[in-house]
Amino acid sequence: MPYLTDAGTLLVDVLFGLMALGFVLRVLLQWVGAPFHNPICQGIYRLTNPVLMPLRRALKPWRRIDTAGVVVSFLILALKALLLLALWRLPLQPAAVLVLALAEMLGLLLTFYFWLVLIRVILSWAGNGGGHPAVPLLMQLTEPLLRPVRRALPALGGFDLSPLLVSLGLMLARILLVAPLRDLAILLATR
């Protein structure tokens, strides 16, 4: 029986994670000021517009952050949390669902940025990506994390250690923030 639970957990995690990632990516692209003419941006906007446009009238942006996108992402992850708690045969306590959804949101962001930084490092070794439209977006998305670390580090003769330090920070945040929030959600569900 745990095999079916593990398979269900994987399917829920991937399906809802990808849906939430689409909306999170839209929020992040607007936050960094990514160009609308980029074909990847246009695709993400087309996929998310049917859901976000009706909500935009009610939820105004806050400091360049698309609140409608954040709300939709959180609701998707709350539904994911609800399904995960049900799969794990834990009581569906509202506080547990909200805390688990918050943990999932933080986990999604931290994992996404970890992979973005890693891909950026690989691209720096392999070349510029051949003019692919994802490369400038990758640079725009990762620069807000890398720039402050790069400024704080001394010049090391052409070596940029900021991706290493940012990756380490992202992994530590995942261990020190996401894991305890997940544990708290399970504790809240069993009370």
What pLDDT score does 154 carry? Answer: 80
What pLDDT score does 1 carry? Answer: 53
Can you list the residues of the chain whose pLDDT is less than 70? 1, 128-130
Burial bucket for residue 75 (CB in 10 Å: 0-12, 13-18, 19+)? middle
What pLDDT score does 129 carry? Answer: 63
Give residues with Cβ within 8 angstroms of 5, minimum separation 6: 87, 88
Per DSSP, the three-state class of 153 is coil
| Residues recorded for the chain | 191
What pLDDT score does 51 carry? Answer: 92
What pLDDT score does 130 carry? Answer: 67
Nearest C-alpha neighbor of 138 from the set 38, 12, 20: 38
d(Cα 31, Cα 182) in Å, to the nearest integer? 27
Structural tokens at position 100? 């688990």
**Cα Rg of the chain (Å, integer):** 18
What pLDDT score does 36 carry? Answer: 87
Whether the CB-CB separation of 96 and 186 falls below 8 Å is answered with yes
Looking from the CA of 105 toward its CB, the CA atoms found within 13 Å total 20
What pLDDT score does 93 carry? Answer: 92
